[in-house]
Amino acid sequence: MASHPNLTILDHPLIRDKMARLRDEETSPEDFRRLIAQVAGLMTFQASRDLPVVETTVRTPLEETEEVRLSAPVTLVPILRAGLGMVEGIIALMPEANVGHVGLYRDESTLKPVTYYCKLPPFVADGPVFLVDPMLATGGSAIAATEVLRQHGCEDIRLICLVAAPEGVLAMGEACPDVRIFVAALDRQLNESGYILPGLGDAGDRIFGTR
């Protein structure tokens, strides 16, 4: 996509199958939580394929062999609250990852995101950060969360979202051109209320059963 050359759309058949069920309005909160974790895990394979590594020697039961290990800590940062739904699937794949949290809300007078909570590992800037949120709509929350991570010295930031709107991708491309974005689907547009079309509804409500 010209507006953000770092955008990667993951259209693997397994992801697309699970996305079809995530979009279905009849999917229960229990199944929605399970599916969103599964998709997040599948997406992490692509987002982590170039993590920094270092060569090491390992002794098998038979002999020594040369392998590689991750050379820097990986931190997973969900944007509260919906981002929490993606954590389980990624941690299942990378149990060694550290987890931080960034909480944002929208100021109703300015319509700008406001940070109300931030808890990050002290060494978050030492390695790649996976910033996760199911939806990339206007891009406001993702940009604000990226700015928070930048303030803590983070340089390698990778945004993982299930569904993105072109408006959000464009906004990220303008504000954070070096952030790589991984999405399962690039949808058509935002409606007048800021919801992604066709989208999958309010991810937070569907995860926690509050719709």
Q: Annotated catalytic, 24?
A: no
**pLDDT confidence band for 69 (50 / 70 / 90):** very high
Place of tokens 């770092």: 6
CA 29 – CA 119 distance, rounded (Å)? 27
Question: What domains, with CATH codes, occur in the chain?
Answer: 7-208 (3.40.50.2020)
Phi, psi at 193, each rounded to 5°: -95, 5
Range in 26-40, 56-70, 97-111, 185-199 the model is least confident about: 97-111
Residue 3 has pLDDT above 70, yes or no: no
Out of 8, 23, 34, 202, the active site residue is 202
**Distant-in-sequence, close-in-space partners of 8: CB < 8 Å, separation ≥ 6:** 46, 180, 181, 182, 183
For residues 135 and 162, is the Cβ–Cβ distance under 8 A?
yes
Is 44 considered catalytic here? no
Cβ count near 162 (within 10 Å):
31
Q: What is the pLDDT of residue 113?
A: 84
Query: Is residue 142 scored above 60 in pLDDT?
Result: yes
Percent of the chain with pLDDT over 90: 82
Mean pLDDT check: name the lowest of 15-19, 114-118, 206-210. Answer: 206-210
186-202 average pLDDT score = 92
Q: What average pLDDT does the segment 112-122 reach?
A: 91
**Which of residues 110 and 54 earns the better pLDDT score?**
54
> Is 202 considered catalytic here?
yes
- pLDDT of 43: 95
SS3 assignment, position 90: helix
Assess whether pLDDT exceeds 60 at residue 87. Answer: yes
Stretch 107-126: mean pLDDT, rounded?
Answer: 86
**Is residue 78 over pLDDT 60?**
yes
% the chain with pLDDT above 70: 97
Q: Average pLDDT in the 181-185 region?
A: 96
Name the DSSP class of 200: -
Q: Is 60 a catalytic residue?
A: no
Q: Is the pLDDT of residue 16 over 80?
A: yes
Average pLDDT, the chain: 92
The answer to whether the predicted template modeling score (pTM) of the entire model surpasses 0.85 is yes
pLDDT in tens, 144-171: 999 999 999 999 999 999 999 999 999 9
User: Which helix (H) or strand (E) segment is 146 a member of?
Assistant: helix 140-151
Which one of the listed residues 49, 59, 110, 178 is annotated catalytic?
110
21, 106, 115, 150: the catalytic one is: 106
